[in-house]
């Protein structure tokens, strides 16, 4: 009898405990901690490479020196070619604005050659032909950059500053040709390889594809100012005569680039 009472009591307690447990609220796993992705920063030192196309516009003029009769000629033309090189710079970001400085040095080749002919009745209808060729040159810049970085990893910027170099365009000489097509005088060139200093301005867009690597597209307009030459007589009868010559050159550059930034977020 006692054993039966104990078993009944145990069964009743187990039933009540099970019912109470069923009424308890379910326990769920705690929520995962919130993690905010870091905001990209453009601050830091970077180096990179670029390549693209260059499209130049040139004009030039000759004025005589030591001639008994006036003779002058002018010309203009344009060429296109390849440009490529490297750059380095540093950016500081303040909010959505980015301030920076960048320097680059590029090889430039505008290829081709040309000539300009001018007839002069003052020289018995002789024709003066000046020759010009384009070849290897270089272009360097030192520029400030001002950008807006309000679009996550995209930077829009304007840039401008100092430009220097040699577009590789030069006079190579001049000849006088008579009415029968025979060369009557020849001229060589002095002061042909000087480096000029000018200015540049442009704009671009840069996008960070990783914390350290970014790609960019950029347009620059560069003007290196005036280049002066002297064409000196080299044939019999031309000693002591010369032409003062000058050329004015500018180029438009469209290029893409890849940068590596040494600091991340």
Contact 129, 113 (CB under 8 A): no
Residue closest to 244 by CA, chosen among 194, 137, 171, 169: 171
How wide is the angle at C-alpha 171 spanned by C-alphas 166 and 176, nearest 5°? 175
141: helix, coil or strand? strand
**Residue 9: its pLDDT value, please?**
46
Q: What's CA 120's distance to the chain center, in Å?
A: 43
Digit-by-digit pLDDT tens for the chain (265 residues) are 545 544 454 454 445 445 454 554 555 666 655 445 567 899 999 999 999 999 887 766 766 665 545 556 666 667 788 999 999 999 999 999 999 999 999 999 876 666 666 655 545 556 777 777 767 889 999 999 999 998 889 999 999 999 999 877 777 777 777 777 777 778 777 765 668 899 999 999 999 999 999 999 999 999 988 777 777 878 777 777 777 777 777 889 999 999 999 976 5
**Residue 27: its pLDDT value, please?**
59
The set of residues, in sequence order, having a beta carbon less than 8 Å from that of 116 and lying 6+ positions away, is: 60, 73, 75, 129, 130, 132
Six-digit token string for 48? 């990179």
**Residue 5: its pLDDT value, please?**
46
Contact 44, 263 (CB under 8 A): yes
**Residue 164: its pLDDT value, please?**
94
Q: What is the C-alpha to C-alpha distance for residues 243 and 232, in angstroms, rounded to an integer?
A: 7
Q: What is the C-alpha to C-alpha distance for residues 9 and 13, in angstroms, rounded to an integer?
A: 6
DSSP string, 180-207: TS-EEEEEEEES----EEEEEEEEEEEE
| Helix or strand holding residue 5 (H, E) | helix 2-23
**Residue 238: its pLDDT value, please?**
74
10 Å CB burial of residue 71 (0-12, 13-18, 19+) is middle
> Where are the chain's structural domains?
52-261
């Amino acid at each position: 009898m006692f054993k039966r009472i104990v078993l009944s009591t145990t069964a009743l307690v187990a039933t009540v405990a099970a019912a109470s447990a069923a009424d308890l609220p379910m326990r769920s796993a705690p929520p995962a901690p919130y993690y905010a992705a870091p905001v990209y920063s453009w601050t830091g030192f970077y180096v990179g490479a670029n390549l693209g196309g260059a499209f130049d516009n040139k004009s030039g003029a000759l004025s005589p020196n030591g001639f008994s009769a006036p003779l002058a000629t002018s010309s203009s033309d344009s060429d296109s070619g390849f440009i490529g090189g490297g750059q380095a710079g540093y950016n500081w970001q303040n909010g959505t604005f980015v301030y920076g400085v960048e320097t680059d040095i590029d090889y430039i080749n505008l290829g081709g050659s040309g000539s300009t002919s001018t007839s002069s009745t003052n020289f018995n209808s002789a024709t003066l032909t000046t020759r010009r060729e384009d070849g290897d040159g270089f272009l360097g810049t030192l520029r400030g950059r001002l950008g807006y970085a309000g679009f996550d990893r995209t930077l829009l910027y304007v840039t401008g500053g100092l430009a220097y170099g040699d577009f590789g365009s030069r006079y190579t000489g001049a000849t006088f040709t008579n009415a029968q097509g025979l060369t009557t005088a020849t001229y060589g060139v002095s002061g042909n390889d000087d480096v000029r200093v000018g200015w540049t301005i442009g704009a671009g867009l840069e996008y960070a594809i990783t914390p350290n690597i970014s790609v960019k597209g950029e347009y620059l307009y560069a003007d290196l100012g005036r280049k002066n030459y002297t064409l000196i007589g080299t044939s019999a009868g031309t000693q002591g005569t010369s032409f003062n010559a000058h050329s004015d050159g500018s180029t438009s550059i469209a290029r893409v680039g890849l940068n590596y930034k040494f600091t991340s977020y």
